[in-house]
Amino acid sequence: MSLTQWTAFVEVCRAGTFRAAAEATGFTQPALSRQVAALERGLGVTLFVRRSRGVSPTPAGEALLPHARLVVNEARRGAEAARQAREGQQRLVLGAVPSAAASLVPQAIRSLMMSEPGLEWTVISGLTPQLAEMVLGQEIDAAVVTDAPPGLPSAKELHAAHLFDDEMVVVAPLGHRLGGKSRVRMADLAGEVWVEDNTGSETLLRQVAGRAGFEPRLHRGAEDLPTKTGLVAACLGVALVPQLLIPSLRSDLVLLRLEQSVHRGIYLLTRRDDEPVDTLRYALVNSRAGQVALTTSFSR
């Protein structure tokens, strides 16, 4: 069993389809399929359930995955350690929920590079559960995550350091009837169609709407935040989004702040046995302070 086979298996698990995994790794799809098939032959088990819309690990695949991640990540970390020792460079692989990856994390990395100009960095965007698994498997060094549904991970090997609380706001298309008001009631939006992109965000929306006394009419036509805000800009609905997203919002949207504000916590997730990341934590908090100064004057 080669390292290439292990890597192919991990990437297919992460991507959910052979096509997406091939695009991420640079393999052709047939070549990636051959690597996984060779691994299955070597182990004598079937690793994936293959469906028309993608694949999912079999029980054998689920059992193998944490070990495969360790194999792949230790190989990567070993190669990086050797290269960094030779070149005197430091490397940061940072995960982030999409709203943090849009603006907060880039600004924090820029701040870090002012004091560490030789820093090599990579940013990986994902949802909190996915990022938690990657921190556990040492695929990434740390992750900026949220306690919004489904909440923070419970694994004892992980440590979540609170960074700040982030307000949730509503975005609507230009010309919306409530545009221009400093604050709006959630109940005033009861008749709107709400665009959603994932189950965690949908759960939070249902909680907020429920406290306002209504069941939101949902349109689940988005797979990510850019699509979600694009659908809103096209007058296909409104959306509940994090304030973290405001610096990167498109210009054809209007921001509606809620009278009864709703917040979610933002945390830096690391392994408990890793070295402290105080410099990174400070960079994130300071970048957030700069964003707050910018977003308080946001208007359309």
Q: Where are the domains of the chain?
A: 3-70, 88-164+265-295, 167-262
Q: Would you tell me which CATH number, out of the four given (3.60.21.10, 2.40.420.20, 3.30.70.20, 3.40.190.10), belongs to the domain 88-164+265-295?
A: 3.40.190.10
E strands, the chain, in order: 48-51, 54-57, 91-96, 120-125, 142-146, 158-173, 193-195, 217-219, 239-242, 253-256, 262-271
pTM above 0.95, yes or no: no
pLDDT tens across the length of the chain (300 residues): 788 999 999 999 988 999 899 988 888 989 999 999 999 999 999 999 988 788 999 999 999 998 898 888 888 877 776 766 665 567 788 999 999 999 899 999 999 988 888 788 889 999 999 999 999 888 899 999 999 999 999 999 999 999 999 999 999 999 999 998 989 999 999 999 999 998 999 999 999 999 999 999 999 888 889 999 999 999 999 999 999 999 888 899 999 999 999 999 999 999 988 776 888 999 999 988 876 655 554 443
CATH assignment of 167-262?
3.40.190.10
Residue written as token pair 């960074």: 163
- Angle made by CA atoms 149, 142, 200, in degrees to the nearest 5: 15
Strands 142-146, 91-96: pairing kind:
parallel
Q: For residue 266, give the 3-state DSSP assignment.
A: strand
Q: What is the pLDDT of residue 52?
A: 78
Whether the Cβ atoms of residue 14 and residue 21 lie closer than 8 Å to each other: yes
Whether the Cβ atoms of residue 246 and residue 255 lie closer than 8 Å to each other: yes
List, in order, residues 6 or more apart from 35 with CB less than 8 Å away.
Answer: 2, 4, 5, 7, 8, 9, 27
What single letter denotes the amino acid at residue 242?
P
Fold annotation for 3-70? Arc Repressor Mutant, subunit A (1.10.10)
Domain 88-164+265-295 matches domain 167-262 at the CATH topology level: yes
* Rounded Cα distance, 85 and 43, in Å: 36
Residue written as token pair 């609170």: 162
Please provide residue 185's backbone torsions phi and psi, each rounded to the nearest 5 degrees: -85, 140
* Rounded Cα distance, 218 and 205, in Å: 10
